[in-house]
Structure 1
Amino acid sequence: MTASVNPFGISITADDIVENLGFFDSWEDRYRYIIDLGRELPAMPAELRSDERLVRGCQSQVWIDVSEEHERLQLSVDSDAFIVKGLLAVVLAALNNKSPADVLAFDINAYFEELGLMRHLSATRGNGLLAMVARIRDEAVKRSKPQ
């Protein structure tokens, strides 16, 4: 996977997240790391926290704004729950600043499996995470150029 500047202002990839989580022995420590990633996300402007950007199917309130710059998706996200903001950071490491085609080609389920993430989330939280990814993928489909 290629590195891209993510919302934290540094280069981090999905591979980096996998490697960093591998350093921790317990899921409690991994959750702390994920929450810390979420704390590094820039604040979403209040005017973007609208009903049209609200992701349905999430236990917490989650907003996702997708714009496009230079044929790459730019994601702005927010949530009212620390762990969810962290999960959004994990997703952004994989999908932000990617072309719509790259977003659609990325195997997010394999990524989550490699992280062991879905096994350690409640069913409700896991469904919410998948709803967030589905929203981003839907936006990628809308912006995809025919081959």
Structure 2
Amino acid sequence: MTISEIQEEIVDEFSMFDDWMQKYEYIIDMGKSLPLIEEQYKVDDNIIKGCQSKVWVHAELEGDKLVFTADSDAIITKGIISVLVRAFSNQKPQDIIEANTDFIDEIGLKEHLSPTRANGLVSMVKQLKLYAVAYQTQLN
């Protein structure tokens, strides 16, 4: 699946819920199914700066695709990073760099987060794209 197809799927899933309590529960459930980062990658270098809670992200190139694993010490934040990992993992770095992130606004995520969590979300997206840039330069 392409990034935009995955994002459409996520938007469709969120549209099934009537209120934000249900959407938060869904985000938490998504966090529980997040492919966990190995303990060796839970280091300061992999912590996303700008997040109130600790969020670790590790990126690895498998073939020509970038695979992300992540974890967080906060349950909602873990769910948020899991949404992003689902959208961007197993994709080519160039596709991640060029990917649109409007789906975040479409599901209403930013407006329903506290300002610090919304800033953290922006930092997470930025970090995933920075990983893609770094690996894209390795591929060239």
> Counterpart of 2:120?
128
In 1, the alpha carbon distance for the partners of 2:2 and 2:48 equals 28
| Pairing 1:1-147 to 2, within 5 Å after superposition | 2=2, 13-108=6-101, 110-145=102-137
The Cα of 1:143 is off from its aligned counterpart by 1.7
Q: What do the CA deviations read for 1:26-64 (whole angstroms, capped 9, x no partner)?
A: 001000001100001133221110011011110100000
TM-score when scaled to structure 1? 0.87
Question: Which piece of structure 1 moves more, 43-52 or 64-73?
Answer: 43-52
Q: Which has the higher helix share?
A: 2
Query: What SS class does the counterpart of residue 13 from structure 1 fall into?
Result: helix
In 2, the alpha carbon distance for the partners of 1:53 and 1:81 equals 16
Question: Which piece of structure 1 moves more, 55-64 or 43-52?
Answer: 43-52
The number of residues matched between the two structures is: 138
Identity of aligned residues (%): 37
Contact 1:14 1:90 in 2 (8 A): no
The 4+ residue runs of structure 1 with deviation greater than 2 A are none
Query: What SS class does the counterpart of residue 78 from structure 1 fall into?
Result: strand
In 2, the alpha carbon distance for the partners of 1:83 and 1:119 equals 15
What is the RMSD of the two structures over their aligned residues, measured on CA atoms?
A: 1.8
Contact 2:53 2:77 in 1 (8 A): yes
> Counterpart of 1:9?
none
Unaligned runs of 5+ in 2: none
Unaligned runs of 5+ in 1: 4-11
Q: What do the CA deviations read for 1:89-124 (whole angstroms, capped 9, x no partner)?
A: 11112111111111011111x111111111111110
Query: What SS class does the counterpart of residue 36 from structure 2 fall into?
Result: coil
In 1, the alpha carbon distance for the partners of 2:2 and 2:78 equals 23
Query: What SS class does the counterpart of residue 105 from structure 2 fall into?
Result: helix
